[in-house]
Structure formats: structure tokens, C-alpha cells
Amino acid sequence: MNKIFLIAGREFFSRVRKKSFIVMTLLGPLLIAGFYALIIYLSINEEISNDLKRIIVIDESGVFRNKLRENNFYKFSYQDEPLDAARLQLRNEDYFAVLYIPKTAADSLRGFKLIAATQTSWKDESYIEDKLNKVISDIKFAQHGIEQKLIEEINNTSVVLESVRDTKEGLEKGSTAVSTGLGFIGAIFIYMFIFIYGVQIMRGVMEEKTNRIVEVIISSVKPFELMMGKIAGIAMVALLQFLIWVVLSTVLGGGVTGALSAKMSMVQDAGAAVSQTGKAALLSDIISQASQINVWLVGGMFLFFFITGYLFYGALFAAVGAAVDSETDTQQFMLPITIPLILAFFLAQTVVVSNPNGSLATWLSMVPFTSPIIMMVRVPFFTGAWDWSWGWQIIASMCCMLLGILVTTWMAGRIYRIGILLYGKKITYKELGKWLFYKA
């Protein structure tokens, strides 16, 4: 263990003293805060990311003339010219598209065409379809004697559904939105750090191998000790950088949020009072949901899966680095390692979010290849006091993860001890399988 600690210390201090580590540690939170500010700013100021699009309307039916609602980004110009003449304007003048409506379109709901010089976006098509549907709906309501005021009242109907959980302590307000967001933030950090620092392990091993430095090191320590020392040392670097990022991101994120909130409060429009009331209600709802989250459980599970997920995949990356001689040779071995992580992230966005307590989500939480991502997304949904209905899943997932680390480390150690001193040979999966059972 003393030799492992020495190697881990060497790996840790050699990396934290590099200028690249210091720069990225300080620059990372600034980039995160910058992206965060940019997203919010663009959301507030839609005119920056959206251009005005002028659309010529050729309405042969006469039903839609002057009835399509405009906004700051879409303007309609109604013309009686033939379609070919309108298309000529599209090429020679500042028009985005031509909306052609044949005579029978209002009755058949077919034949509408949006002709543009460039490919239209999903947003463009959805907006125009929505406005066309609105006009036709209003006409049909009017044909049945329903007043416009009643139509608008019906269209503005909005049901507010409150999610409530029945717990042993009583009824508690649900926290779906906050739980989903918090789970994904944790999963993204784990996903990102596994890749960043896993690849660092692989490259570090390859560098020592190709420079023949490892031949000198192996004369003093066992291959397994060298591998574990490198994994542990880089793990400490990852944890240190992450903690610094959390502290700096919290400070910078709070400042950015305060500045943008002040900017938002200065924006005045016709519906300012209603808008501010809605924002206050939304903020209150978010705070209420956040108070239902078991912060200690989420924080503890994040730290556990952050470390164990790294150790699990770090051993595999170390084995790949020991088995190959160049970056180009790593691709065939990295693919089976990265696919489970990518698959887990994809399933977390689809299957797990839609049913976090389903059978598939539960079983994916038990597989060490996917559990760091999947379990991190699910944990925020386990709110309230400890309950064995979900507590057993956490314990089982942790045990499977620890068992997976033992198995992975053993396999990686067997590959590492042979591959680290092997040069100039193209390794196959069959060859790696043989290495697992070679006698020392």
C-alpha cells in the first residue's frame, strides 16, 4: 500500500502543478457561468436568435386573407399575383417564403404549400400550421353559432395539476421538475469526468510504455501497484478539480443569476404585472420542490457514484493503455467501454425520466456499466425519509458497483501486467482473453 500511495502522490502532484490544470480549473467555472448566462440571455432576448421572416401569402380560397396572426418574427404579405410571379419575388426580394393556399384547401385541409429558397425549420412549419389551424377552427366554430369570445375562453383553458406524494409522514408536494434537473446535472458531471480522466489514465500509461519509463518503474513496484497508484492519483486530481469547480461555479452562477434577474425586472411591457406574478409563482414552486429533495442522500450518492464510476472505468482505460502502443490502436478497445456510458446517458433521457421507478430503470441501476448515470438520475426521485421500497435498490446498486470494481480491477490488472511490457504487437480480443488466465 505504501508504494501505491507513493505512485498516487506522484501522479497527483505532477498534474496539479501543471499550468494546464491551473488554467482549466479556474477557466472551467468561468466557461460554465458564461454558457449559463448566454443561454438565459438568449432566452430573454429572442430577437437576437430569431430573424424577421416575411412570407408572401397567395390565398386562392380567400378564407385566410388578413386572418393569419403575426408576431415579431413572422410577417404575412397577402398578394393576388400568380404563384410563379410570387416565386420570382422570393428570389429577387427580401422574402423568406411563399405560402400557397389553393381554393379547396380550407375544406379538404390539403394542398397547402410553403415554398422557400432554403430549407425551412421545424419551428417555421409548426408556427404556420398552427395559425392555419386556428383560422379553420374559428370558421368551423362560427358556422355552429359559437361566439368568438367563447372560442377564446375555451382556447385559454389551462389545467394546473399538482403532484402530491403519499408518504408515511403524510402528503408531500411532488418535485418532478427539480428532481429531473438535479439528476441530470449530477449524471452529466459523472459522465464528463469519467471520460476526461479515464482518457488521462490511458494516455499516461501509453506515454510511460512508449518512452520505456515503465521498465525502470516495474523494477521497483509490481504492475498492479503501478496501475492502482495511477488510478488513485488521477482520481484525487479529478475530485480536487471538481470541488473547486463547484465552489467557483456557485459563486459565479449566483452573481450571473442576480445580474440577469435585475435585467429581467427592468423589462416593462403591457403584461408586466401578470408576467412578474407568474415568475414569482414559478420561483416559489421551484423553491418548494427543492425543499422536498433529500439533499444528503443525493449528495452522498453523487459522491459515491462519482468515485466508484471513475474507478470502474479507470481500470478499463488503464488496461487499454497498457495493451496498445499508439492512439490509433485504442479505438477498437475504447468502443466497448464507451458504448455503455453513451447508452446509459441516452436511456436516462428517455426511458428513465419517463418512468424512474420502472423495471428497466431498476435493472439498469444494478449494472455497473450503466449504474453511475442511471442511478444518479433516479436518486432525486427518492425523496422524504428513508424507505425500504427504494432503499434496497440503492444498497443493491452500491454493492453491485463495488463488486464490479473488484472484477474490473482484477481483469485490468491481469491485462496490465502483461501488456505494459509488450511492444510492437497488434493485440486482439482473443489475445486479451488469454492474458486473463496466464499464470504469474
Domain boundaries, the chain: 50-155, 177-248+291-440
CA distances from 150 to 144, 160, 239, 269, 434 (A): 12, 21, 60, 26, 77
Judged on CB neighbours under 10 Å (0-12, 13-18, 19+), 439 is: exposed
Look at residue 304 in the predicted model and tell me its pLDDT: 92
Considering only CA atoms, which of 192, 326, 210, 221 is closest in space to residue 8? Answer: 221
Look at residue 44 in the predicted model and tell me its pLDDT: 63
Distance of alpha carbon 401 from the chain centroid: 23
Look at residue 396 in the predicted model and tell me its pLDDT: 93
* Close Cβ partners of 340 (under 8 Å, ≥ 6 residues apart): 367, 369, 370
Look at residue 273 in the predicted model and tell me its pLDDT: 43
Give the pLDDT confidence of 69-101 residue by residue, as tens digits.
888 888 898 988 888 888 888 776 788 888 888
Residue with cell 470494481: 405
Considering only CA atoms, which of 190, 193, 202 is closest in space to residue 316? Answer: 202
Cβ proximity of 73 and 53 under 8 Å: yes
How many CB atoms sit inside 10 A of residue 97's CB? 22
Give the chain's mean pLDDT. 78
DSSP string covering 305-335: HHHHHHHHHHHHHHHHHHH-SSGGGGHHHHH
Look at residue 274 in the predicted model and tell me its pLDDT: 41
CA angle 31/36/41 to nearest 5° reads: 125
Residue with cell 452573481: 255
Task: From first to last of the 440 residues of the chain, give the pLDDT tens digit.
Answer: 678 888 888 888 888 888 878 888 888 777 777 776 777 676 666 656 567 888 888 888 888 888 888 888 888 989 888 888 888 887 767 888 888 888 887 778 888 888 887 788 888 888 889 888 888 888 888 777 777 777 777 777 777 666 666 666 655 565 666 777 777 888 888 888 888 888 888 888 887 777 777 777 777 778 778 888 888 888 888 888 888 887 877 776 555 555 545 554 554 444 444 444 444 444 455 555 555 667 788 888 888 998 899 889 988 888 888 888 777 777 778 888 889 988 998 888 888 888 888 888 899 999 999 999 999 888 887 766 667 778 899 999 999 999 999 898 888 888 888 877 777 777 777 888 887 777 65
Cβ proximity of 375 and 173 under 8 Å: no
- In angstroms and rounded to an integer, the radius of gyration of the C-alpha atoms of the chain is 30
CATH second-level architecture of 50-155? 3-Layer(aba) Sandwich (3.40)
Residue with cell 452562477: 253
Look at residue 305 in the predicted model and tell me its pLDDT: 92
The pTM (predicted TM-score) of the whole model is 0.68
